Structure 1
Amino acid sequence: MASIVQLRPPVAVPQGAVTAARAPLASSDALVLRNVTRAFGALRAVDDVSVSVSAGQKYAILGSNGAGKTTLFNAIIGDFPPTAGRIFFFGEDITELPPHERIRKGLRRTYQSSLLFRDLSVRDNLFLAVRGVGNGRFSLRRAGAGHPSTRATQDLLDRARLSHIADERVANLAHGQQRQLEIGMALAGAPRLILFDEPAAGLSPVERRELVALLGSLPAHMSFVLIEHDLDIALRVVDRVTVMHNGRVLRTGSPAEIEGDAQVQAIYMGSKH
């Protein structure tokens, strides 16, 4: 018996309905934000933001106070998930994942306010960071000199340029050294992308030079996105910039394009530029 096929009329697709929000992800995408919005009641702190960060790319998000930068970071890491839009991390939709699951997938973040164990040593802080993202993090067995966690801690001390003060109590460190330690802790567990929230805030000129050297020494395959008010630092260590204003994307371009943009200068850079 011949089969009977019921034909349905084609569904009309409104012109423009297939947007970038539905476009396939590129294989080189590390972080993709599609029309991300974060509202608090009637206030849209982040409003329809779309950003793409390639694997290995160094990216900056700039803007004046209240532009929505930190709220955007909170949405990416999962502290305050978006109220609309989607977030993709290396092709996987992480919009609904809790923060600890995002961390396990290789996403890290530093904060404006230090989240350090001030009564412990530099070495102990880094060791806890290593154990926190690794297997056996609930083990009560003390790690010996040859334990992988111990070796990883020493590697972080070297990479964060803190070996010379490894056994110093964190409360005794200068502000810039504490910032270095935060970056070292964010490097634990081979992250694939790090969100740096104003790493240069409160640093002296010497400490800022050290920060630039540290950011420049990060592996080429590792992506990072930083929020920064110090343009001299931000534009020196990244290859792509997005400027936000009133919760929305104002401009995206290379550091040279952003620095030379008249509207960016008027809104963000001010008379200094």
Structure 2
Amino acid sequence: MSDAAAMTGSTATQGGAGYALELRDVSKKFGALEALGGINMMVRPGERRAVLGSNGAGKTTLFNCITGDFAPTTGAIRFFGEDVTVFPAQERIRRGLRRTYQISLLFNGLSVLDNVYLACRGVSRGRFSFKRPRKSDALMQTAEELVETVNLADVRATSVSDLSYGQQRQLEIAMALSGAPRFILFDEPAAGLSPTERAELIRILTGLPGHVGYIIIEHDMDVALRVSDMVTMMHNGRIFKEGKPAEIEDDAEVQALYLGGAEDE
């Protein structure tokens, strides 16, 4: 039995108590192509996990199944003990699941603060109101706090189109934090960032509130290992290895796979 099979098999028998996110035997097929096969993953509340793997390993498909963008072909997904396998994406968002994407999804013509405010408004009970927010609006105050959390206070009034790419990625994190999320999926947040911007990203992620867990997909292994306390390595749509960052970093098979010793289909 492989290391991954042994670990996921034993984890799957522990029961569902106490997990923020559970994937049990999740698979996803597109016709004859199996993008995911037999994924078992258990993530505890507040846990920070990195998912690594070459292009084609199934990482983004995994995220799409978790968020409800794709329905799994087989298996079950539970979020804080509730079966959300057939829930649409918006129902998962209402339960505290958030996500960022590889390609920025921002309102380029609006300011930084307006983008964060709209994100907060979108997950609030008053999201359909046409009233303009007042300065005392609680959501506006929350938006201001989130802008400060990701170190964008100095550019709060700047149009998104005038931000650097790294600042746009920081803004996405602020928007993902709107509405008191319980768990966040970060899809390659370090892609295209300079070394200085990567260092800032690491500072932001490690400084998030302890109760907010996340999974980060990342090609930059240095970033991924520094912001996570567990690592899942994927290959060809399956879990190849799991372990602590130091264990994964020192694993010869992982090094061979990640450095090009094996290719994904």
SS of 1:153 mapped into structure 2:
helix
Aligned pairs for 1:38-77 within 5 A: 38-77=28-67
Q: What is the TM-score when the length of structure 1 is the normalising length?
A: 0.90
Q: Which residue, out of 83, 87, 95, partners 2:77? A: 87
Q: What residue is the counterpart of 1:201 in the other structure?
A: 191
Whose Rg is larger? 1
- TM-score computed with the length of structure 2 as normaliser: 0.93
CA separation in 2, counterparts of 1:146 and 1:269?
A: 53
Q: CA deviation at 1:55?
A: 0.6
- Counterpart of 1:79, as a letter, is D
Among 227, 230, 236, the alignment partner of 1:240 is: 230
How big is each residue's C-alpha offset from its partner over 1:89-136, in whole Å with a ceiling of 9 and x where there is no partner?
000000000000000000000000000000111011001000000111
After TM superposition, the structure 1 = structure 2 runs for residues 59-208 of structure 1, keeping only pairs within 5 Å, are 59-208=49-198
Which of 185, 209, 215 pairs up with 2:205? 215
SS of equivalent to 1:51: strand
Question: Is the 1:21–1:35 contact (alpha carbons within 8 Å) kept by the matching residues of 2?
Answer: no
SS of 1:130's equivalent in the other structure is helix
Segments ≥4 residues shifted beyond 4 Å: 18-23
* Other-structure match for 1:256: 246
| Residue in structure 2 matched with residue 25 of structure 1 by the alignment | 16
Structure 1: where are the runs of 5+ without partners? 1-17
> Residue 73 of structure 1: SS of its match in structure 2?
helix
Give the paired residue count: 253
- Return the alpha-carbon distance in structure 2 between the equivalents of residues 177 and 104 of structure 1: 27
Code of the residue aligned with 2:139 in structure 1: it is S
State the Cα RMSD in Å.
Answer: 1.4
Aligned residue number for residue 12 of structure 1 = none
Call closer, same or farther: CA 1:105–1:246 in 2, change over 3 Å. same
1:239 partner amino acid:
D
Q: 2-side partners of 1:263 and 1:73: how far apart?
A: 24
